[in-house]
Each structure stands twice: as C-alpha cells, then as structure tokens.
Amino acid sequence: MAARAFSRRTALGGVAAAGTVLATGPWFVRDARSSSGELSILHWADQLKDPVRKKFTDETGIKVNATAFSTDQEQIDKLEASKGEGFDLCQPALDRASQWHDGGLLAPFDLGKLPNAKNLIPSLLAASKDLWQWGGGLFNLPHCWGSEAIAWRTDRTTLDYGTLSFGNLWEDQYKGAVQGRPHSLLLGIGLWMDATGRLPSHRMLDAFKDEETFRRIYDEIVGFAVEHRPWIKQFWDTPDSIRAGFIDSGCTIGQTLDGPVDDLRSEGKPVAFLAPREGAITWTDGWTLTAAAKNIEQAYEFLNFLMTPETSALVAETSGYNPAIGGAAALLADPAKTNFTESYPGDALDKLWFRRPEPTWFKSLRVQYAEKLRAA
C-alpha cells in the first residue's frame, strides 16, 4: 500500500463487463431518513472529499460525520480503541483482510440492500470475495484502486498490449535504462517466469504459503535479477523520482506506479503506461460495515450512492484514484479518460494482480531479498 503515501493524479475511469446495466438514481433506502438522519464514517483522507459528501447530503438529507485517517494502522487503532462504537462504515485495504478477520469489529453486508453492487468492475468484486468472505458473509466492497505496471518513453521504444510483459524490462536494448523499486521488480520477474513456465508459482501466490516455498521461488528470481543488475539505471522511491527517471535520468522503460506517468502524459511528455499481459499489480481500498453500526440503513444508502457511475466519476475527479464502478470513464474529460483506456485496454481489467495479505514472516523475507538486489 506504499502507493497511497504518494500524492498523485492517476488515470481515471472504469470499464464494465459486457452487459453490465448501469443504475439510475436516486437510490433511497426505505426509512433511511426516519432514523437519525446521520451517518458516521472512518475514511482515507484523500478518497472522500467534501464535494462527494455534500452531494450525498443534498440528495438524501443524511448528514455525514466523517473522520479521516492516514495509515492502515491508524484506522485499526481507532476502531479497536472504541470497539467500533461511533462509526458505521470504515475503509480497510484489500490486502489487510487477515488483520480484520478475527477482530470482531466488522459485520457482513446484506447484498440484498445493495442493488448497485452490480455496477462494480467484476474483477475487483471477485478480489473482495476471494479475500473478504468468511462465515458465509462478505465484509468488503471495493471503492478506489491503483496499479503498478510498465511505463516507457514513446520516443525511444514501441510496446503494444498483448505482447507487453514484465520480461520486456530485461531485453538487451534496455540495458542501463530501466527503473523500478526492488521488491516490485522481483514480483514482476516472478509473474513473468510463472507465465512463461520457467518458474511455476500459481501467479506468485505459492510464495505466500510458507518460508520454505518463498525462498525456493525467490532464490531463482533474485538470482536472475542480480545477474541483470546492469540493466537498472535507478531505483525509484517517490513519484518525483519516477518522473525524473524518464525526464532527467535517461530511463527508457520502467516498472512504475500509474499516477506519476499520467502526470507526465497530461503535461504532453512522450511517455506511456500499460498493463502487461501478466496483469498490472493492483492495490484496492474498500468499504466495510462495522459491527457496532447504528445507522445501518443510512450506510446502505451511502454505499448505493457511491456505486453509481456519476458518483464514482466524482470520487475519481476529487481523489485522483481509479474508481471501481463501470461506466465512470465515459463521464470524465480528457486526458483522464484517454489515459485510462490506453493503460487498461482489452481484457486488462480481468487480469489485474491484487496484492495479498502478507503472513507475519513474509515482509521480513521480502525486504531481505529486495536488499540483495539493491546491494548488487
């Protein structure tokens, strides 16, 4: 989730699966105004700006009491301290499911009260169901997302969707002109090796099983990476360093976040960003219902409001993150709409690789292997 720490403007939009029916408003839940007429939420500071909350209140009369947080741990600490009291909805990240599973702080959704959930991009909803469904209930619905994929200077090389791969970074023509961050480059190599059959790993999910399996997979990956260390021009760690890599440091290609590259594209710079055939590496933030929620009907009203193309487009415009609702791209102005459709063409949204919950032992090993590449 390091991507969130960066202040950035991402490509915006969402492409619905064929046949998706877009809902129209208003979407009033029965008796939503007959209770307190209020809703209390705990949300990421940059994902739910004032215009979105005002629009909801104007349309429904429901007052939103919003408390912002800036880190995953801050959110967990707030809810644990109050046992969830005082909040109806909160916003855990997709890859934090294991931290919430046994806490007793959340309640499952009644999907019968969420007709607009059908507007969610299918692959994003599937990821939530995969990681956030237990005891017969679903505890997470996607809201915003971003990705890490392949970016390049269009005046120096040409790459196309369908053939583009994480493996392209290591072609001889790019020696000394690649940028990336160590742990992400290793993941990309692993996804490429799995896709080509060189190192089968169930799309790198096997590396999450246990330490022995992790080491078996990553020993081969880091061996390849260290051998190709001369290909790497720079390791990036901020959006500014990504931009500088392409504009000032001589990088031709890289494995980068979407936002900084979209900034450059919007400025007319000769760069592109595109999901590889193995799937763009994706983070997702969603909404969950707290076990102590008092304003439940208002919460469902709010979620149905968010899961429409019109509101999703507004969330995207005001936050800079990719929306989870199909059809939002059509409501956006260029260059945002063009950037999104060019970055995730064809079946790219079906192939997204979602970051997984990390076992306690995983992070230390990931850092250890990343340092081997950095120090090579």
The string of DSSP codes covering 212-247 is HHHHHHHHHHHHHHHHTGGGEEEE--SHHHHHHHHH
Q: pLDDT tens for residues 149-190?
A: 999 999 999 999 999 999 999 999 999 999 999 999 999 999
**Would you say 138 and 104 are in contact if contact means Cβ atoms under 8 Å apart?**
no
State which H helix or E strand residue 322 sits in: strand 322-323
Q: Compute how many other C-beta atoms are within 10 angstroms of the C-beta atom of residue 122.
A: 14
pLDDT at 36: 56
Q: pLDDT tens for residues 11-68?
A: 333 333 333 333 334 343 444 443 459 999 999 999 999 999 999 999 999 999 999 9
pLDDT at 318: 87
Residues 132 and 285: their CA atoms lie apart, in Å, by: 12
Question: How many residues does this entry show for the chain?
Answer: 376
Q: Which CATH superfamily is domain 2-145+283-332 in?
A: Periplasmic binding protein-like II (3.40.190.10)
Supply the pTM of this predicted model.
0.87
Residue ranges covered by each domain of the chain: 2-145+283-332, 146-281+356-375
Q: pLDDT tens for residues 250-303?
A: 999 999 999 899 999 989 999 999 999 999 999 999 999 999 999 999 999 999
146-281+356-375: what CATH class? Answer: alpha beta
For the chain, where are the alpha helices, taking DSSP H only? Answer: 50-60, 72-82, 97-100, 122-131, 182-195, 211-227, 239-247, 258-266, 296-306, 309-319, 336-343, 362-375
Q: Do domains 2-145+283-332 and 146-281+356-375 have the same CATH topology?
A: yes
Residues 229 and 144: their CA atoms lie apart, in Å, by: 34
